[in-house]
Structure 1
Amino acid sequence: MSTTLLTFDPLTISLNGVSSIEASAGTGKTYGIASIYARLIVLENKHVDQILVVTFTNAAVAELKQRLRDRLIQIKHSLLGNNINIEPFIKQLIHELEQQNRDIPNIIRHLTEQINHFDEATIYTIHSFCLTVLKDEAFLSGSPFNLSLVSNHDEVVRTFTEDFFRENITPCNENSWFFFINNITPESLYMENRQWLQRPLIQKNFLNNLQKKQFQNNLLNIRQLSKNLHSQLNEDDIQAFLTILREKNDLSGTYFKLGTYETLFDMFRQSPQKIFSTLSNNKYLDACLRFKLNNQNFLKKTANKQKIQTLFRSFHCIISLAEQYKNYQDKKDEMIAQWYLEYIDYIDKRLEDYKKLTIERSFNDLLIDVLSIVNSDTSHTKQLIDNLNHQYHYVLIDEFQDTDPVQYTIFQKLFINNATPIFFIGDPKQSIYQFRGADVTAYLNAKKDATHFYTMNTNYRSVSPLVTFINKLFNSNSNPFKNENISYNNITAYRKDHKIIQKNNTLATLTIIRLNEEYQNKNKLSQLAADASANYIALLLNESQQNLIQYDNRVLEAKDIAILVNTHIQAQLVSNALLNKNIRSVKYEKESIYDTEEALILLSLLKFSRNLSYQAQSLQEIEMNYQELNYLLSSQFWNADAKEINEIQNSQKKLEYYLQQLKHFFIVWDGKGIYSAFQFLFQSIGVETRLIQQEQERSLTNFNQLIEILSEKEISFQNPNTLIKWFEDQIQKNNVPSDENTLRLESDENLVRIITIHASKGLQYPIVFCPFLWDYAEKKNQKPLLELDTSSEHSSPQLTYIKNINKAPQHAAQEAIRRLYVAITRAEEKLVLFTNDVEQDKLNADNPLQYLISPYLKESETLWDAWQNWYRTNRDLENIIDFQENLPNPTFFQNVQLNKPSFITIHKPNFQYSLSENTSYSRMIKNSQSPDLYSSQIDTQVLKQDLTNIKPTLNIFTFPKGSETGNLWHEILELINFQEPLSAYEPLIRKRIIQYGLHGYYRIEDLTKVTLEMIENTLKSKLNKEITLTNFSPDISSKELEFMFYQPNEVTLETINQWFKNNNLEKFIIPDTSHPQGKIYETYLSGFIDWVGLYNDEDVYIIDYKSNFMGNDLQDYTTDRLLSEVLKHAYQFQATIYALAMHRYFKSIQKPIKHIYIRYLFLRAVQKNSNKGIWKWDIDYQKIEDLETSLTVKAT
């Protein structure tokens, strides 16, 4: 049934029943809520505690409280005659009071009372409202009186998940095998299904037991047939068949390829696990099924049909296995979905039992508890509902598009069913929080309960040409949001004139830039879009500094520009691109304060001052840690350069001065507390003044936040040592940002904003860049097996296997269009979009921009052509849009305000943190380490020179030497994703360089650059022909693979050397039997392998990274020199242990392999597209089998 949308007017809107108010982007939603609220207070004489206002975030609550109170104050001042410029709504409200002959002095008294008691206003988030219900009505609700609120039950659920495995998977071989071959672990099971946990209004559509039993029997048959296959096949028949293929007289070469069947029969001689993995490839499965000869095209006209049929009948066991596997393949996903449903049901029941035994409640528990109460038909429930309806006369729900079925059912049962007037304010076009559980379907279903429908259709945010463009774009497609229940209604712009003025030119309202590179590689296009955005912004800011562009009667500033992104990786790409153009930016994203350099500085300060104070009072008796002292002196606290540090160390008087400051810091800390200690230090050495002068607001904000945290935590600890230990633990953890530790924003007075689309909702900016809207590639593993079936044939949503739904929903694609809508409606004055030029046959129907513009795409045209066709159709957009086929020219921002002296900082050496395990070799063999470049003796010698005149040239060979460099490079290679753009990892690399203390005498930017180049060379070096590390996806490789096996008896080096000799590897023989590696006693042999990958399902690559310094030129890393280095350190022994470990592993999972390729990558010499710098050792698998036999190694 179609509904009539009335224009929203807060003074005429109905105050009865259920009102649905659709507030499109920029139409003043909060203003509308404040106006309704004011009408209820002023005209309806309601009190602030009689109007329930619910929104969805704490920030929104704070804003609403301020806006609603301000509105009441404005009305009061207007009634008193104190306001000269009275806004239209208040004028109309006063006029209404006069028309009703209301007692104005009495109204003023009532307003004054409500303003004075505004702290009693009932403005909540949905969770805080539910908590209030449970606590205030504890007796009627049956809730514990002393509820303890926790953010989530993640760790509890993980424990229950492991219980699920122990109870349901481990006891049954078939179940264990099924989970193993499909790589389902407790963690993956939890992560895949956590969005469906504790969704009480969802019914689960389980398979019946018969279907489950049939599948298990099918799996059992496959295992049995695989085990028996080799014994049932006749080798003569196999050879006869392969001979037929070689002669090419009987069978079609199109279907029967010799290479395919040679590989196939080779696999059939292997283990059941190998056979199973072979059949998972449709190429080989189809090859097996062709033995049925069910296609006449299989045979040539000259074929001896009877001979072929007779031969193929001998392969009946292959056909049986293939048919069973085909049945398994057809049902596999459904069975995984069934296990998912059983797991979800199991966890829900365990959590329900858990809540009965504890007072802990998560945010989601609050909703579920209230839902359970309102769904129960008891006298207590009826009394609770009566109490709430007596208390609240009106209900306003903000951001209603972000609701879910549970939340709506609560409001329905509490208020709608009891005739309490309720207002739903929201916009289904802006429902973009599905990942948080928001369900736009709940909004659409709720509209069916509405009795009045209103729309806010005047945009007060964007200038008229922008609104026109948005109207045209979303009218380009008959179903713009891929949902027949969400329509687009044209919006009228309130503002006609631009606030941005460009002299000598007309600044286009909309710019659409083509990413016109020949390649379509997503990573390269992303970098291209980031760089192009930075160039364009640099151009705008340069023109602004020349007074050529003005915004709102002032020069355009960086703070007027926002860049919207989808992911944190995109945010980092843009941030780096801006930095390269001399443009400062601020990222609005959640990051832990403990991940900052300021946290490391404070930790160093606390530890050094403590150690100093615990030592003797005499300066001569102090055991000085010059590394720590140099770092602190060069930090933001004292900001000393190398020359000043040298002077301090050579002057006893100066040195004692600084040491006394640090000792006094600790004395104040120990006596008055840490906050007083930092106050003393900041005032005595002028930290705040210096940081502000140097425009280091970011550092100052971080220091203040960390000091606040330390001051609060100090109360919980008995002494400075325990506080330091706690602080150190926080720095070393991978912290999930919380309210306490989330990085606060520094002053963003004049910085370009970088913000995710999700975080930008509700915000607005004069100029908005959207560099990545063209990118809609879903993650490879993002295809869900479970989906909600919300069709009308079910009384409630059904969680079911997705193929059971007649028409699978497109939730992700639909939300992508809504994200696009949110993104482009943030702009006030100008919008810049980027599009890739895709050919028609490569269009992605789920890409929102491509979908909207696709009706204008003609045959054999590209997406860019479609934009031109659309533009020609909408002639009223002329002079509004600027289509740029070429990218902006490279431009550098000439910031005339930044001509300030540079500051030289010597950063902190090694903190000696246990950041990661030692490399595998160092765990097994303890050789002497290279001297630490940053020993105090070396520091002292170097600092005695005038470092201000030293400008060392940094490259991969002069990169700092020693174990810290090796640990740094190992850790970075462990942390990065080999398939992602390396530039996104610059912040990680910078942070790790600081933590490892490698930036004492080189600029951190140069160290980062060299490290990035090394990583690129490593990832693109040739391991074997054209094979590189980038060829291995995470699902067929493993980093820092830990192994352990049991060596039951003593093995002498003579045994290993004999094996080397038997395999013509005399050069590997280790001559000195007194060498520490010369004997392995009875023990567990364990270690870590840097990287292991499986190629073509049969070849194992073992990679070990080496940072050894062998010389200052590539000529020092020749093949012969690498071999000498290997023999010098007995790396061949290490490699042998690695090969044995991998042999044991693959043998234990019944997965045969052919070769083991050992590759030692000497990181200072590896080159992309080359095999230089790589020591290679190729081992036939059988040779490792022989070694294992001789060693009698037993796996544990």
Structure 2
Amino acid sequence: MTATHTSVDDYDLDRHGVVEASAGTGKTYTIERLVLRLLREEAVALEQILIVTFTEKATGDLKRRLRDTLDRASQANDDQASLVKKAIESFDQASIFTIHGFCQRTLKDYALEQSQDFRPALVDDFDLLKVLLREIQRKDWRRTFGSNLRAVLERAGYGGEQAEAWDRNVLEVAKSYKPRSGHQLRPEFQPDWWRHLDKADAAPAGQLEIFTVRALLDKMRESKRQRGQHSFDDMIAAVEESLDPAQNANAVRLLGMLRERYRYGIVDEFQDTDPLQWRIFRRIFCEAGDSKLFIVGDPKQAIFGFRGADLPTYLAAAEEMTATYGADAHPLVENWRSDPDLLDALNCLFGDGEWFSKETGIRYLPVHPPDDDKRQSYKGEDHTDRAALTLVDVTNNETIKKALKHYARFIAYEIDRLLARHSDKPLLSFTLKGNAERPLHAGDICILVMMRRDAEPITQALDTAGIPFSFYKQAGLWQSEEAIHLEVMLQALTRPEDRSSFRKALLTCFFRVAPADLAHCPDVPMQHPARQLYQTWLGYVENRQWSALFRSMLEDTGLLFPATDDGGSGRRVTTLRQLLATLEEAGHGENLDLLGLLDWIRRRRQQRGTGEADMQPDEMGRAKVKIMTIHASKGLEFPIVFLGGGFTKGLGSKGPAKYRDDDGRLIFDFTPDANPDAKKRVNDDAQSEYRRLLYVALTRPMFKLYLPKVQRPARTVAWLGPVGTILLPALEQACPDKNGPLIADVVVPPLALAVVKPYEKPDSAAPRIAPISLTGPLFPRIDGNLSKRRIVIRSFSSMARHHLSNLGEGSSFGEQTPLALDETPTTLDQDDPLRGPVFGDMVHTVLESIDFAEVGRATAPDDLCRAGTHARKLLDQALKANLAKLRSRVPIDQLEDACRQQIATLVWQALRTPLQQLGGPLCEIPKEDRRHEVDFLFPERPGAAPPADTRWEEGFVTGFMDLLFRKNDQYYLLDWKTNLLPAYTAEQIERSMADSDYHRQYRLYLHAARRWLERVHGPKFSFLDRFGGVYYLYVRGLNGRDDTIGVYFHRPNAKELELSELLNP
């Protein structure tokens, strides 16, 4: 395959193309530019370009980025701009799919040509296979083998403790085995093998497994045919068969229709394809017709073989496209991610021809950074005393296990040092994606592991050091430690008379009683707080008050505000919140009692799901070091990366082996021990997979990469992982000129590493509740004035009403209802429906939920009202909920249109008005930098004690902040106002701010924001330094062009943060 080093702007659009990327080389940008060229130069309609990528998330990201690219291109002053604008108008019809989405659309649109059901039901193959396996074992085995069944099972090793593993192996093979993809089963199937078990040359090993796999596939196919069902894999197989003239008489006609529909095809992540998918695209785009195909992928990052991805298919397809179909090869070699020093090291490591050997068919082309004036991410101040690539030498440990713990302590030590938690001066700062330079924070650091268990010593070290961390997309929500504690707690509530169950519950995270304390306490008296809380919960259980029960399990146990933070308390609470919310929904939705809830939990715990519903939640707020598997990290990038695993590897299972034969076909072998060649092939495939995994890991960092160096035993051992067998030998040989120094700086950390937690200022936002103790007094001293105590909750509305009416009485109890200070009547007709609190609420609702980027792309308010857009759906939802509440004398349809247009205009102007202090409009603030409708509740006198012999009122302040957002590492508060003013000049707005007491309002908001941000960022956070200012935007006065009218901005000083002056005017 001849490589042509050309820019995407020079690709020949009349030829097929093979775009081979490397990590960080702008693969998605290339696709965007390619689509733009097709629209502008070939006058192709957007819907005539088929774009296929791997995941739903990737599809959404590509749509968003492509839409932004088209929006920018539509502003050009040239003849092709109209073509781009036409594409924008029809963007909802863009043909951007996952492979399953494309096949589903094809099956639906051309059901007659494929003899397919119009609306087949979707089914999960694995769930169906499990049911069918039981049926085969109960019926087919006995019917087929008859009196030989016992001997068949004995020779197959089925029975006892082995039965579950046998079932699992067969199900896994049946799920993955695809005969139409050329897959093979081994050993060769022998007809009537079960009749000759007593013969000397009988070889029954693996025969029952193959018999069962074949029976499973036959039964599954028939079951789905009878019930009108199909799975995701069936969609691909059905389309592939329908395009094969040998399988479908209408194939030629169908191919002609698809070629007419799609003039160009772009398949992203093509290294994750399989033979069926390649045959689909080859038949549509390559075998006939004028349509052209571009495949885009990186074989070096082919790491999803366990999902069915087939690297040999990619290599064969790329070769076939260039050799047979005349495709141009377009390698991407400009790396936009990593620092030049790091690129030099990686080029030296991967580019010597030994990392990816010729036998693998993978080649590594050296990459280079863009010119300095084009780079968008680069280092600023660097006082870390670390090179781009650091090798951490832990070879002075006696065992691999000790080395792993030593390396984990170094990671915690180094992260603590890099974050400069004991200093006011950052060690490292940088610019990312063209934003302002900023210092390193914990969220910029990623620790990559091969497997989850590799992270255990690292999380222990981080916990000890008090370094916040979180797992990225950690599967196994219902297999988590918190789920186990929840099950034990609920189990105890089903057995109130069982002393043992209650004592187990005391050990859970809800009570946190130490085992040593429990061992010295024979029983817990009924007066003990733990026993009383348990009795309260029993009452909730009896009445199925799941909301009250689960709320109490979080709030009344002190979980929300633990006495000490071990670094994992936030993670535990976040996980428990998701567990309890899901369980509450199941309890109410399915009308379950407690035993039903327990059974529901156990079923979920037995399912090893990997979908979003089974993902443990990401923690919000405080920046945390991210820990993730290498597989999860693909496509991501981080300023600093530690490779945290790969010291050891599993020894493999005794189940079937998976490998490739000389023709590249995938083999499922149930008797690998009998075939020495199979063992070698399995090992070779594993080593190749490890090299690709390590390539992915080592290409995630932008500035600094840390790798471990462990002691290799004198002789090769089976359990030694890829760090010792692959990475270290390569590093030892990788030199810039083969005679100079190693490409990495070596650090030898001392064996005794300790990280001192930084001093943390006590947080007065809420009381810290210690674990329930089994010693000490059972009851606190009773306050003589207890009956006179009350809790007062004050909001800005209650304070404003009190202030504006000059009343001398105190605020009302439990004040929660906002005063309608907005929409103050002016000169407009009182019957005008587009004023008043109802209309104001609709505007607020849309501003809270709308996609800011969509508003940024809209060239006029009418674009937001266009049918089918996300903005139109939000507008219609707001109208549906509130239209009947508006007072009007006009017909309802006219009112609806007028109201929709007015809201769209206000929203469009509000989000597109350039704000001087931000350097641009709000629509440019990405979603991850915004928090809408931030509610708060904080004590009026935090930490104060009740005066002696006085009546004590516990006061709290509550409210909502419309928008809290971040720009250039500065935080801002914003409040939308829909007030009707005679004019929206600075003078009129200042008068409105004073008359409505909004200065008091934003000072309350400032206090709430300061408390939250200081808690999130820790004691070194300076609110006044990092707070950009307060915006009050009067949306009726904004014009979308400049901020001369309708805008109030203020940057606060220290005095304005004093709470006492606000609460005692």
CA contact (8 A) 1:516 1:886 kept: no
Matched letter for residue 44 of structure 2: K
Matched letter for residue 359 of structure 1: G
Residues 1:187 and 2:167 are matched in the alignment: yes
CA contact (8 A) 1:713 1:723 kept: no
Matched letter for residue 60 of structure 1: A
Residues 1:351 and 2:237 are matched in the alignment: no
Question: How far apart are residue 745 of structure 1 and its match?
Answer: 1.0
Matched letter for residue 432 of structure 1: I
CA contact (8 A) 2:302 2:309 kept: yes
Q: TM-score, normalised by structure 2?
A: 0.60
User: Identity, % of aligned pairs?
Assistant: 23
Residue in structure 2 matching 1:384, options 246, 254, 258: 254
Question: How far apart are residue 453 of structure 1 and its match?
Answer: 0.7
CA contact (8 A) 1:429 1:818 kept: yes
Question: How far apart are residue 213 of structure 1 and its match?
Answer: 6.8
Residues 1:370 and 2:343 are matched in the alignment: no
Separation in structure 2 between the aligned mates of residue 633 and residue 484 of structure 1, nearest angstrom: 50
Question: How far apart are residue 57 of structure 1 and its match?
Answer: 1.3
Residue in structure 2 matching 1:156, options 128, 131, 153: 131
Question: Deviation string for 1:63-116 (max 9, x for gaps)?
Answer: 11211112112222x42xxxxxxxxxxxxxx7xxx5xxx264x346424413xx
Alignment match, 1:894: 757
Separation in structure 1 between the aligned mates of residue 610 and residue 355 of structure 2, nearest angstrom: 39
Give the aligned length.
738
Alignment match, 1:830: 704
Alignment match, 2:283: 413
**Pair 633,352 (structure 1): closer, same or farther in 2 beyond 3 Å:** closer
Alignment match, 2:638: 765
Separation in structure 2 between the aligned mates of residue 462 and residue 368 of structure 1, nearest angstrom: 40
Separation in structure 2 between the aligned mates of residue 173 and residue 665 of structure 1, nearest angstrom: 49
Alignment match, 1:265: none
Question: Deviation string for 1:574-611 (max 9, x for gaps)?
Answer: 21221122222111243344455776898999999999
Question: How far apart are residue 449 of structure 1 and its match?
Answer: 2.1
Alignment match, 1:143: 116
CA contact (8 A) 2:491 2:598 kept: no
Residue in structure 2 matching 1:202, options 182, 207, 210: 182
Residues 1:466 and 2:342 are matched in the alignment: yes
Question: How far apart are residue 700 of structure 1 and its match?
Answer: 5.7
Residues 1:903 and 2:880 are matched in the alignment: no
Q: How does 1:594-673 map to 2 (within 5 A)?
A: 594-595=478-479
Residues 1:398 and 2:268 are matched in the alignment: yes
CA contact (8 A) 2:245 2:252 kept: no
Alignment match, 1:130: 103
Matched letter for residue 221 of structure 2: E
Separation in structure 2 between the aligned mates of residue 172 and residue 684 of structure 1, nearest angstrom: 58
Residue in structure 2 matching 1:944, options 778, 781, 786: 778
Aligned with 1:7: secondary structure? coil
Alignment match, 2:309: 438
Separation in structure 1 between the aligned mates of residue 360 and residue 73 of structure 2, nearest angstrom: 42
Question: Deviation string for 1:1076-1129 (max 9, x for gaps)?
Answer: xxxxxxxxxxxxxxxxxxxxxxxxxxxxxxxxxxxxxxxxxxxxxxxxxxxxxx
Separation in structure 2 between the aligned mates of residue 194 and residue 826 of structure 1, nearest angstrom: 35
Question: How far apart are residue 678 of structure 1 and its match?
Answer: 10
Alignment match, 1:1175: none
Residue in structure 2 matching 1:476, options 352, 365, 370: 352
Separation in structure 2 between the aligned mates of residue 9 and residue 26 of structure 1, nearest angstrom: 16
Aligned with 2:416: secondary structure? helix
Matched letter for residue 626 of structure 2: R
Alignment match, 1:68: 66
Matched letter for residue 241 of structure 2: S
**Pair 604,906 (structure 1): closer, same or farther in 2 beyond 3 Å:** farther
CA contact (8 A) 1:164 1:343 kept: no
Question: Deviation string for 1:606-636 (max 9, x for gaps)?
Answer: 9999999xxxxxxxxxxxx999999999789
Separation in structure 1 between the aligned mates of residue 258 and residue 339 of structure 2, nearest angstrom: 44
CA contact (8 A) 1:564 1:770 kept: yes
Question: How far apart are residue 195 of structure 1 and its match?
Answer: 5.9
Question: Deviation string for 1:870-904 (max 9, x for gaps)?
Answer: 448546767x6211345575131533446548834
Aligned with 1:577: secondary structure? helix
Question: Deviation string for 1:29-80 (max 9, x for gaps)?
Answer: 111112212222333333332222111112111211211112112222x42x
Bigger shift: residues 35-44 or 566-575 = 35-44
Aligned with 1:740: secondary structure? helix
Question: How far apart are residue 784 of structure 1 and its match?
Answer: 5.3
Q: How does 1:1108-1187 map to 2 (within 5 A)?
A: none
CA contact (8 A) 2:388 2:705 kept: yes
**Pair 833,610 (structure 1): closer, same or farther in 2 beyond 3 Å:** closer
Separation in structure 2 between the aligned mates of residue 213 and residue 727 of structure 1, nearest angstrom: 43
Alignment match, 2:716: 842
Alignment match, 2:692: 818
Question: Deviation string for 1:821-864 (max 9, x for gaps)?
Answer: 111000111111112232564388996566667xxxxxxxxx68
Question: How far apart are residue 786 of structure 1 and its match?
Answer: 5.6
Q: TM-score, normalised by structure 1?
A: 0.54
Question: How far apart are residue 336 of structure 1 and its match?
Answer: 3.2
**Pair 147,839 (structure 1): closer, same or farther in 2 beyond 3 Å:** same
Question: How far apart are residue 457 of structure 1 and its match?
Answer: 0.3
The gaps in structure 2 that reach 5 residues or longer are: 431-436, 513-517, 519-524, 782-1065
Alignment match, 1:568: 452
Separation in structure 2 between the aligned mates of residue 192 and residue 389 of structure 1, nearest angstrom: 37
Bigger shift: residues 780-789 or 598-607 = 598-607
Alignment match, 1:1030: none
CA contact (8 A) 2:554 2:560 kept: no
Aligned with 1:441: secondary structure? helix
Separation in structure 1 between the aligned mates of residue 492 and residue 638 of structure 2, nearest angstrom: 46
Alignment match, 2:953: none
Question: Deviation string for 1:921-979 (max 9, x for gaps)?
Answer: xxxxxxxxxxxxxxxxxx7x9762679xxxxxxxxxxxxxxxxxxxxxxxxxxxxxxxx
CA contact (8 A) 1:515 1:835 kept: yes
Aligned with 2:42: secondary structure? coil
Question: Deviation string for 1:394-452 (max 9, x for gaps)?
Answer: 21111110111121112222332234211111000110111111111000111112411
Matched letter for residue 587 of structure 1: F
Question: How far apart are residue 207 of structure 1 and its match?
Answer: 6.8
Q: How does 1:951-1100 map to 2 (within 5 A)?
A: none
Residues 1:453 and 2:287 are matched in the alignment: no
CA contact (8 A) 1:790 1:797 kept: no
Aligned with 2:279: secondary structure? helix
Aligned with 2:156: secondary structure? helix
Alignment match, 2:389: 510
Alignment match, 2:1030: none
Separation in structure 2 between the aligned mates of residue 567 and residue 905 of structure 1, nearest angstrom: 35
**Pair 124,835 (structure 1): closer, same or farther in 2 beyond 3 Å:** same
Coordinate RMSD, CA, aligned: 5.0
Question: How far apart are residue 165 of structure 1 and its match?
Answer: 4.7
Question: How far apart are residue 350 of structure 1 and its match?
Answer: 2.6
Residues 1:110 and 2:80 are matched in the alignment: no
Matched letter for residue 171 of structure 1: N
Separation in structure 2 between the aligned mates of residue 385 and residue 74 of structure 1, nearest angstrom: 35
Separation in structure 1 between the aligned mates of residue 638 and residue 440 of structure 2, nearest angstrom: 12
Residue in structure 2 matching 1:32, options 30, 33, 45: 30
Residue in structure 2 matching 1:171, options 144, 148, 156: 148
Aligned with 1:462: secondary structure? coil
Question: Deviation string for 1:725-760 (max 9, x for gaps)?
Answer: 665555765553433232221126411111111111
**Pair 141,747 (structure 1): closer, same or farther in 2 beyond 3 Å:** same
Bigger shift: residues 455-464 or 411-420 = 411-420
Q: How does 1:228-627 map to 2 (within 5 A)?
A: 336=205, 340-377=209-246, 378-419=248-289, 420-447=291-318, 448-450=320-322, 451-478=327-354, 480-481=356-357, 483-494=359-370, 499-500=378-379, 506-517=385-396, 519=398, 521-542=399-420, 545-552=423-430, 553-595=437-479
CA contact (8 A) 1:565 1:755 kept: yes
